[in-house]
Amino acid sequence: MPTGRLIPGTCAQAALHIYILYRYICPCTDNQSPTAIGDCGSASIIAILAQAMKMETKKRKVLDGTHAEQFAALRQVSDLTPAACCKVISVLHDGQGKRTCARRQHSHATSFPCLRSLSVPGTEDETSIKVPCMSLPALIEAKVQACPLYRESLRRACQKHEGQLTLLCYADEVTGGNVLSAPQARKANLVYLSWLECPLLHLESQWLTASVCRSADIAGMRGGMAGLLTSLLRFIKDECKHGFPIAWGSEDVDLIQIKETYILADAEAIRSTSGWKGSAGVKPCIHCLNVCALGKAIGAEAHVDISSCDIARFWPQTSDSIAEAARRLSNARTISEKKVLEKAFGWNWDNFQAGPLLCPRLKDWVKIDNVLYDSM
């Protein structure tokens, strides 16, 4: 018998008839299904043939099914996008089925129930921009059901830390299309979520996409990407303020509570999500108070420039120093005075005041020490 291939339907049906007749002759098949045969070699072969017939019948049922059933079967192949599945169905049916499961609730049956709408304040007064985002409890539940590795990793983290977990929030900017000539209109900012206590953070499957927004839309938001991240974290905190349950089985349930949040990003993303000026200001490092740009520390007492290797001379940024910088910037009387203070303190006031570091509702969630550089 060829291995790895299904038996043609006609042969498999004949095998089933032989199996039925064989039950009257061989006692090994009494009161047993084709998959539960004893030690009889002949009966086992017949049982394999019968099982192959059932698999063939199931395969033909998919091929002869509706366009929606075929679409659902094709979506089990991870490399096939919804558009590619529609093309396959169209080829099989002479051009018909190009719009099979075109609605999002059909093409993304697993993730669509997790979709929510987030309202972010716009640059103009009394305006807001709608941003699609995912519900964290619903997204975790869907991921746990779909990915055994994620389920086991999260379950062990919950049991080890008694459900008290740290949320990782990773922000990045991407541009779709040709790498050599990417269209700027497709530039977008993404936010991914994971858990610090999970041991396999280097795997892509351990990260969940929480939000995707075009950069052109972010430009119209108050505070830009900092305002978007603040609104997203506030939404997650309101949704999970009392924790949320996760079922590992019929009787095994844990309650997950978020104790704090870490923001992980590269230097450019930290600048956009926090309001830090970075290299555009006198102080390029968000974590240091007295580290200046190259050559800018000359004549400034107790200050060093960025080329210094003496870590003991660095003054760490604290919540109090951030609050003092915000107070001085908010009290600036003229635009020119504000620009001088922004350059001296290293903050862009418009983005800084809309960012997560100054949000009262995120005070216990996001601190300056929770903003981490992604060296990769």
Could you state, in order of their start, the residue ranges of all structural domains in the chain? 9-64, 112-274, 277-347
Looking at residue 13, what is its pLDDT?
57
Q: Residue 213 forms beta bridges with which residues? A: 189
What are the C-alpha distances in Å from 154 to residues 237, 264, 323? 19, 20, 36
Looking at residue 33, what is its pLDDT?
47
- Residue 53 φ then ψ, to 5°: -60, -40
DSSP state of 332: -
Residue from 296, 6, 256 nearest 137 by CA: 256
DSSP letters of 281-296?
Answer: SS---TTBSSEESTTT
In the chain, % helix, strand, coil (3-state, to 5) comes to 45, 20, 35
Looking at residue 278, what is its pLDDT?
83
Looking at residue 15, what is its pLDDT?
56
Distance in angstroms (rounded) separating the CA atoms of residues 170 and 269:
9
pLDDT in tens, 95-150: 777 777 667 666 677 778 888 988 998 888 778 899 999 999 999 999 998 889 99
DSSP state of 314: P
pLDDT in tens, 145-198: 888 999 999 999 999 999 999 999 999 988 877 777 777 778 899 999 999 999
Looking at residue 69, what is its pLDDT?
74
Name the strand (E) or helix (H) holding 42: helix 41-63
User: What are the residue ranges in the chain where pLDDT is below 50?
Assistant: 1-8, 24, 29-39
Distance in angstroms (rounded) separating the CA atoms of residues 148 and 156:
12
3-state SS class at 60: helix
Token pair for 167: 């949320």
Mention every residue, 6+ apart, whose C-beta is less than 8 A from residue 340.
Answer: none
Looking at residue 235, what is its pLDDT?
94
Looking at residue 211, what is its pLDDT?
93
